[in-house]
Amino acid sequence: MEKEKKIVLGVNEKPKPLQWLLLSIQHLFAMFGATVLVPTLTGMSPAIALITSGIGTITFIIVTRGKVPSYVGSSFAFINPIITVKALELDPASGVAPGSFLIGCFLVGLFYAVVALVINRVGTNWLMKLLPPVVVGPVIMVIGLGLASTAVGMATNNTTGEYDLTYVCVGLVTLAITIITAIFTRGFLSVIPVLVGIIGGYVFSIIMGIVDLQPVKDASWVALPPFQIPFVHYEPDFSWRVFLLIVPVAIVPIAEHIGHQLVLSKVIGKDLIKDPGLDRSLFGDGLATMFASLLGGPPNTTYGENIGVLAITRAFSIYVFIGAAILAMMFGFCGKIAMLLSTIPSPVMGGVSILLFGIIASSGLRMLVENKVDFARKRNLIISSVILVIGIGGAAIHVGESFSLEGMALASIIGVILNQVLPGKQVVDFKEMFKD
């Protein structure tokens, strides 16, 4: 058996100043592309997303008693629901008030907290039974495939919504750079292909003349981001329609969270499911998401990208993550950086998104394959088929004017119900999904 690599920094070991800075910057780069991409796609502020990811990470570390080295950033699972709810906010006939999407995001964090409380009281078996791979896999595929048209549209259409060959070229170059970085580089670069793709696409966009850098020159170095605070910038208004559009999707990041904790446990050599416990880590996610929504940021989740960096560097110190969180917050208050992010052309984000959303869909397929979900069994075929068609097809159930269940949320709920009521249910231990 190959000897385990030496640990560079223990979980609670404080690094030397220069080492601390370099390792923190490395984790900042690893999460930067994805954390910025989510608010950019949903029309939220990337600066606020950076700030709330920093606050969320420090909150997460405190809640987990400094035992779980993780970075918390924007979750991809909620891109489509947030876009849908924000579109409803602009439609006076929908009855959905401005800022409702943030209330939905807050309720997601509250849902995490409730699940964490139940886990604390009764353990995790019920959750494993509720979210087997045959349900979670197709729902993850819906997340990626449901956003496919958004990615292609960003990569091909200009600001007026018309096909533009220049935009297509920028999108393809960005996609190519991202793929080349992911496939042909080694070490740390292979962990940040999204960030490299965005930078390369942005440079090519400048060459193609579709970037205006004047706003960056005019911006101040220090600026207050456009926070969206309840009772200050909008009046909170609960809506069942918003609740049902956003909250049920939380089952996906919850399953993802369990997977991350199991993988991280193997990387650092400690059983994090037992100590500090899945209840604490999930509650940390919930608090991070609630704090983010109160400032105008997207829901948060732990990042697999940063777990990959941990595996490479073997530097497990929570101080490194605290440093990355502080740097992210500093970036969020830098006016020039915020303006620079806002000048990234849509085909750059579109090109990156083509790969990212495809990877999300493929990861759902991978979950099915790795767990040997047998599609010769009719129940598995039925569950996955119904989830995929309802989720991607945009099916909806409307009851009156205020109650609506649609898209990914409807697909998730129906998948869970079908798995419970159809005969021949098999329970798969999540630990089996990540064992060597």
- 76 part of a folded domain: yes
CA separation for the pair 436, 428 (Å, rounded): 16
- 61 part of a folded domain: yes
Mean residue pLDDT of the chain comes to 90
With pLDDT > 90 as the criterion, what percentage of the chain qualifies?
64
pLDDT in tens, 294-327: 999 999 999 888 888 888 788 999 999 999 999 9
- 5 part of a folded domain: no
Check residue 401 and give its pLDDT.
64
CA separation for the pair 320, 255 (Å, rounded): 26
Check residue 227 and give its pLDDT.
96
Residue 8: name the closest of 267, 188, 189 by CA: 267
- 154 part of a folded domain: yes
Mean pLDDT, residues 399-415 taken together: 80
| Residue 63 pLDDT grade (very low, low, confident, very high; cuts 50, 70, 90) | very high
Half-sphere CA count of 315, side-chain side, radius 13 A: 17
Q: Which residues contact 121 (CB under 8 A, 6 or more apart)?
A: none
How many structural domains comprise the chain?
Answer: 1
Q: Where are the alpha helices (DSSP H) in 123-239?
A: 125-130, 133-146, 148-156, 165-184, 193-207, 214-218
Q: Measure CA of the first residue to CA of the last residue in the chain; give whole Å.
A: 13
Q: Would you say residue 2 has pLDDT above 50?
A: no
Report which of residues 68 and 434 the model is more confident about.
Answer: 68
pLDDT in tens, 333-383: 999 998 999 899 999 999 999 998 898 899 889 889 988 999 999 999 999
Q: Which of 21-30, 224-233, 267-276, 296-305 has the highest mean pLDDT?
A: 224-233
Domain of residue 366 covers 17-423
Tokens representing 97 are 């008030």
Check residue 434 and give its pLDDT.
44
Residue 252: name the closest of 78, 72, 37 by CA: 78
- 319 part of a folded domain: yes
- 431 part of a folded domain: no
- 307 part of a folded domain: yes
Enter the pTM of the model.
Answer: 0.85
- 11 part of a folded domain: no
Check residue 94 and give its pLDDT.
86
CA separation for the pair 201, 329 (Å, rounded): 25
Q: Which residues of 351-380 are buried (b: 16+ CB within 10 A; e: fewer)?
A: bbbbbbbeebbebbeebbeebebeeeeebb
CA separation for the pair 311, 306 (Å, rounded): 9
